Chain A
Amino acid sequence: MKKTLTFLILIAALIFTIILSLGLGAMRIPVKEVITILASKAGLLSNTAEDPLAAGVILMIRLPRVILGLMVGAALGTTGTAVQGIFRNPLAEPGLIGISAGASMMTVIIIALEGLFFIQISQSLGYSLLAIGAFFGSGLAALLVYTLSKTNGQPNMALMLLAGIAINALAGAFTGLVTYLSSEQQLRSITFWMLGSLGGATWGNVLCIAPFVILPIVILPTFSKGLNVFAIGESQAELIGLNTKSIKVWVVFLSTMAVGASVSVSGIIGFVGLLVPHTMRLIGGVNHKFVLPASALAGALVLTLADLISRTIVEPIELPIGVITALLGTPIFIYIMLRDKKKITNL
């Protein structure tokens, strides 16, 4: 009952946030006009004499941005839950196993080398080069972490965590080196990536990453049962007859796909993957059948809301969304850490 209510509230809040996000922004557009524009686009109204610029802002700038926020938020929420599930560690998130760091390192390298040999590739692929690079970088990092963590053909979770930390440090060092060598203009693009923003959303790149982001969001909840069994401990789960290796491989693979694609367009957005699953567990318990879809909805809600705040709070300047999510996320992170102090120190 409580779970159904949670879902209903989340869906209602999400719809409300979407409408608010489409209606608010640097350009003032009256509510009535927003509705007219959307209705006439959906074919519900015959073409009315609307402001073409307002229509352009809503359909070409705000709508892809809101959709990107929904996709990335849902992806971060779902993958965060799944990764916490396989690590059986409440403080895990996709970033921990090097996925985000790998993506950002590749992106930074591409930005810095753009003027050299990437310009050739860049011209034929357009702006999607960064997206492909980020995707490739996250995949490479995940593969490396996965290979390093294998013992007797089985990925070991403790090793994976350590390998993730090592890869994060390595990627951080490379990123720092490239930042040091890059020009002022490149530095600005790099900062943009490191702090995250949904401002780069266009129909082109949103549609480009949609399959890579949506597939994992849909598939990961089918692992709910397995992840629930996983919670009792990996060896115990195996004794019961669960194929733990297959679950680990799939969760890592799908998370890499979703997060790599997300990071490629929005940059690194911290804490959503960590904060959202926890809040959902506090509300509705630890059953993954609930936590996975609820985290998808809540992730979408939090990110869309954070984006709305980031672009309206100090108009016309846009705050990096990473700043907003981290400001919201850090206190919750510390709260969880203090609450689970005993459990963590006994690990």
Chain B
Amino acid sequence: MFCRQKKDGLMNKRVAKIYLLLIFLLSQSITTFAQPKRIITLGSALTETVFALGAGANIVAVDVTSEYPKAAQLLPKVSRNRSVNSEALVAYRPDLVLAPAGDLSAETIVHLQAVKIKVVSIRQDFSAGGCINFIHDIAEALGIKTKGDALAQTTKAAIAAAQTQIRNAKQASPKVLFIYARGTGLMSVAGRGSSIDAIIRMAGGKNAVHEFADFKPYTTEALVRANPDIILMFDFGLSSLGGRESMMGLPAMALTNACKNHRILALDGPLLINFSSRLPEAILTLNKQMHQVYP
């Protein structure tokens, strides 16, 4: 094309314009070259943040937990976390593997580095600041720092707005007990320092458990002692117990404030605990749901 135009005998001005265009295209291609083209994300918070940063089209595979946004559900699933097979990752020929810090075994990292695939482990703190850092870290790994700054900026503002709104509403603060369930045989409750503890507090509730940190197995006695106003569960958790009716039939459940007043919430798990760019939405959703049953 360039040659033909020259043949056409066009003026220098035109040629200069084309030169400028070429230089522009070249510089574009250099900056896009620095950005990973084939990404594997091993965590739903990572996946949704990469999508939020507009780089979702470059994801070639995700882990089993990545279900948001819808486009992520169509992507091939590699195995999850620690049990991930190094070769299964390499087979997708990624140039970047994003994993939650500590999830990949040291050996898997050795394998990926041996075949010159970049691995970035992203640490996540369950707080408003942690969420912003999380976005920054991912954007940096993707080589799109400015986009990251913009997303972090809007997320930060949205979190602040949500928290102001909740503070101004001056609603009573309910005692919330979170129960993680995979059937009646496998139930845990969330204590201090867990992701769910953080989101309950940010949404204006109180965690009914403060005696221990992280998740501990559920016991009937602990339930009665905690006497929560609201029982919070993940939607799949409630269905794994056989729905609301069977849940209320659990021993001593009827003695709690929550059950007496039918205050059992079942929410989208990843939304609540991911602490990604969807944190503002998570805060507002939980707040709204809590106060629908606990005015």
Chain A residues proximal to chain B, CB less than 8 Å: 25-28, 52-53, 56-57, 60-62, 126-127, 180, 183-185, 188-189, 191-192, 197, 199-202, 204-205, 311, 315-318
A108–B105 Cα distance when bound, in Å, is 15
Contacts known (A127-B107, A183-B214, A200-B107); A318 close to B83, Cβ less than 8 A: yes
Q: Are A25 and B87 in contact (CB-based, < 8 A)?
A: yes
B93 closest partner in A (C-beta): A53
Contact of B83 among A60, A127, A188 (CB under 8 A): A188
CB contact list, B80-124 vs A, under 8 A: 81-83, 85-88, 90-91, 93, 102-103, 105-108, 110-111, 114-116
A205–B91 Cα distance when bound, in Å, is 23
Q: Are B115 and A60 in contact (CB-based, < 8 A)?
A: yes
Give 1 or 0 for each of B62-87: 1 = CB within 8 Å of chain A CB: 00000000000000001101110111
CB contact list, B210-243 vs A, under 8 A: 214-215, 217
Q: Are B82 and A188 in contact (CB-based, < 8 A)?
A: yes
7 extra A-B contacts, CB within 8 A, seeds A26-B88, A185-B81, A199-B86: A25-B91, A28-B91, A61-B111, A126-B106, A183-B215, A184-B215, A202-B107
A121–B103 Cα distance when bound, in Å, is 20
What are the residues of chain B within 8 A of A192 when measuring CB–CB? 82-83, 105
Give 10 nearest A-B pairs by CB, closest first: A316-B88, A56-B115, A60-B114, A27-B91, A200-B107, A26-B88, A188-B82, A127-B106, A318-B85, A317-B79
What are the residues of chain A within 8 A of B81 when measuring CB–CB? 185, 188
Least Cβ–Cβ distance between B284 and chain A, in angstroms: 27
Least Cβ–Cβ distance between A6 and chain B, in angstroms: 33
What are the residues of chain B within 8 A of A61 when measuring CB–CB? 86-87, 90, 111, 114-115
Contact of A205 among B83, B102, B107, B108 (CB under 8 A): B107
Least Cβ–Cβ distance between A145 and chain B, in angstroms: 31
What are the residues of chain A within 8 A of B215 when measuring CB–CB? 183-184
Chain B residues proximal to chain A, CB less than 8 Å: 78-79, 81-83, 85-88, 90-91, 93, 102-103, 105-108, 110-111, 114-116, 214-215, 217
Least Cβ–Cβ distance between A205 and chain B, in angstroms: 7
A126–B105 Cα distance when bound, in Å, is 12
Q: Are A57 and B106 in contact (CB-based, < 8 A)?
A: no
B82 closest partner in A (C-beta): A188
Q: Are A26 and B87 in contact (CB-based, < 8 A)?
A: yes
Least Cβ–Cβ distance between B84 and chain A, in angstroms: 8
What are the residues of chain A within 8 A of B108 when measuring CB–CB? 199-200
Instruction: Report which residue of A56, A57, A61, A126 has the largest number of chain B beta carbons within 10 angstroms of its beta carbon.
Output: A61
Contact of B111 among A60, A185, A317, A318 (CB under 8 A): A60
Least Cβ–Cβ distance between B51 and chain A, in angstroms: 22
Contact of A185 among B91, B103, B115, B217 (CB under 8 A): B103
A61–B111 Cα distance when bound, in Å, is 6
B77 closest partner in A (C-beta): A316
Least Cβ–Cβ distance between B193 and chain A, in angstroms: 11
Q: Are A202 and B111 in contact (CB-based, < 8 A)?
A: yes
What are the residues of chain A within 8 A of B105 when measuring CB–CB? 189, 192, 200
Q: Are B114 and A318 in contact (CB-based, < 8 A)?
A: no
Least Cβ–Cβ distance between A119 and chain B, in angstroms: 12
Contacts known (A53-B93, A126-B106, A185-B103); A62 close to B82, Cβ less than 8 A: no
Least Cβ–Cβ distance between A65 and chain B, in angstroms: 9
Contact of B85 among A127, A183, A185, A311 (CB under 8 A): A311
A100–B110 Cα distance when bound, in Å, is 26
Q: Are B90 and A27 in contact (CB-based, < 8 A)?
A: yes
Q: Are B85 and A317 in contact (CB-based, < 8 A)?
A: yes
Q: Are B90 and A53 in contact (CB-based, < 8 A)?
A: yes
Q: List 22 A-B contacts (CB under 8 A).
A: A26-B90, A27-B87, A27-B88, A52-B116, A53-B93, A60-B111, A60-B114, A61-B114, A126-B106, A185-B81, A185-B102, A185-B103, A188-B81, A188-B82, A188-B83, A191-B83, A311-B85, A316-B79, A316-B85, A317-B83, A318-B79, A318-B88
A126–B79 Cα distance when bound, in Å, is 25
Least Cβ–Cβ distance between A198 and chain B, in angstroms: 10
What are the residues of chain B within 8 A of A127 when measuring CB–CB? 106-107, 110
A192–B81 Cα distance when bound, in Å, is 11
Least Cβ–Cβ distance between B76 and chain A, in angstroms: 8
Least Cβ–Cβ distance between A52 and chain B, in angstroms: 8
A55 closest partner in B (C-beta): B115
Least Cβ–Cβ distance between A296 and chain B, in angstroms: 26
A317–B79 Cα distance when bound, in Å, is 5
B188 closest partner in A (C-beta): A184
A126–B83 Cα distance when bound, in Å, is 20
Q: Are B107 and A57 in contact (CB-based, < 8 A)?
A: no
What are the residues of chain A within 8 A of B88 when measuring CB–CB? 26-27, 315-318
Contact of A199 among B107, B114, B115 (CB under 8 A): B107
Q: Are B116 and A189 in contact (CB-based, < 8 A)?
A: no
A127 closest partner in B (C-beta): B106
A189–B214 Cα distance when bound, in Å, is 18
What are the residues of chain A within 8 A of B111 when measuring CB–CB? 60-61, 202
Q: Are A56 and B214 in contact (CB-based, < 8 A)?
A: no
What are the residues of chain A within 8 A of B102 when measuring CB–CB? 185
Least Cβ–Cβ distance between B155 and chain A, in angstroms: 26
What are the residues of chain A within 8 A of B82 when measuring CB–CB? 185, 188-189, 192
Q: Are A26 and B85 in contact (CB-based, < 8 A)?
A: yes
What are the residues of chain A within 8 A of B86 when measuring CB–CB? 61, 199
What are the residues of chain B within 8 A of A28 when measuring CB–CB? 91
A61–B215 Cα distance when bound, in Å, is 36
What are the residues of chain A within 8 A of B107 when measuring CB–CB? 127, 199-202, 205
Contact of B114 among A25, A56, A315 (CB under 8 A): A56
Q: Are A204 and B91 in contact (CB-based, < 8 A)?
A: no
A283–B52 Cα distance when bound, in Å, is 63
